[in-house]
Structure 1
């Protein structure tokens, strides 16, 4: 009988970690993103730029498109298309977080991506565009302006790549 109960215990579902810390990280990314956007809108006029260093400035610009203003002049449908895409991605990421809550790097990456996506969705719903304000430049070259949400998405994507490379290396 003791052997059977041990077998039944080990044959049960794999215990997963809690999803709440990951949702908390996503919420933190959303809050930092939205607070920085509120501050920049209050302190800057549209198009105003203030140098911080020789290669970095703060500037208030609006992005009606996606990354790097992709589809910014598409006629308006992109606001709702990118909003829907962000919401669908957030639901899918929640599902992934529930299934893999014990995988720290993977869930950190997904949480940052979800937080960034929702941060930009909030902008699209409230303002009709995304507020960008971080401007990296060198001499006459400017990286397209971005925001904290974009940074969270980028860091999350890099972490996903790192996590996958580690997973592949361990499988060898």
Structure 2
């Protein structure tokens, strides 16, 4: 079974949900003007919508404002997506194919932001007491969950029965 039959629809769904959420944040809620919207608080734990333009990669690493910097990050994202697409075509399990689809969809979603805005639209701020995680978006969540699923698949997949020699 080709992993593309499962992975590509997952990638498309992640990409569509990511771009729809960013459209809503920017055009409907207009979060850049509001800057912060409390969303859910359960005692000291909660979620806020907080506008951040991430000009780097994961956790704001490698941030920069120049066109060449954005093009280099975009080229890197495309290269990684191509590698993951090839891996997806050869995926041995449904979990691996779906996980690779989530990572690819998230990477392309963030690449679209980088090409449109010169930065990635991040807006989910999770916190516990005074500690705040990095502000992220749906694409970031799909990438992290996809990588976690790939690790789980590699670590916990049942091993094929050893062939007995005759």
The answer as to whether partners of 1:41 and 1:60 remain within 8 angstroms in 2 is no
Shift of 1:76: 4.9
The answer as to whether partners of 1:134 and 1:146 remain within 8 angstroms in 2 is yes
1:164 maps onto 2:154 in alignment: yes
Number of residues paired by the alignment?
Answer: 155
Q: What TM-score do you get using the length of structure 1 for normalisation? A: 0.82
The answer as to whether partners of 1:59 and 1:133 remain within 8 angstroms in 2 is yes
* Unaligned stretches of 5+ residues in structure 2: none
Query: Which is richer in strand?
Result: 2
Shift of 1:138: 2.2
Deviation above 3 Å: which 4+ runs of structure 1?
A: 73-78
1:105-128: CA deviations, max 9, x gaps?
111111101010000000001111
Q: What TM-score do you get using the length of structure 2 for normalisation? A: 0.85
The two structures, once aligned, show a CA RMSD in angstroms of 1.9
> Of the candidates 110, 118, 132, which is equivalent to residue 142 of structure 1?
132
1:63 — aligned with what?
Answer: 54
Once residues 127 and 52 of structure 2 are traced to their aligned partners in structure 1, the CA distance between those partners, rounded to angstroms, is: 15
1:124 — aligned with what?
Answer: 114
1:35 — aligned with what?
Answer: 20
Once residues 8 and 144 of structure 2 are traced to their aligned partners in structure 1, the CA distance between those partners, rounded to angstroms, is: 18
Q: Which has more radius of gyration?
A: 1
CA gap of 1:18–1:44, structure 2 versus 1, over 3 A, is same
Once residues 99 and 88 of structure 1 are traced to their aligned partners in structure 2, the CA distance between those partners, rounded to angstroms, is: 17
1:84 — aligned with what?
Answer: 75
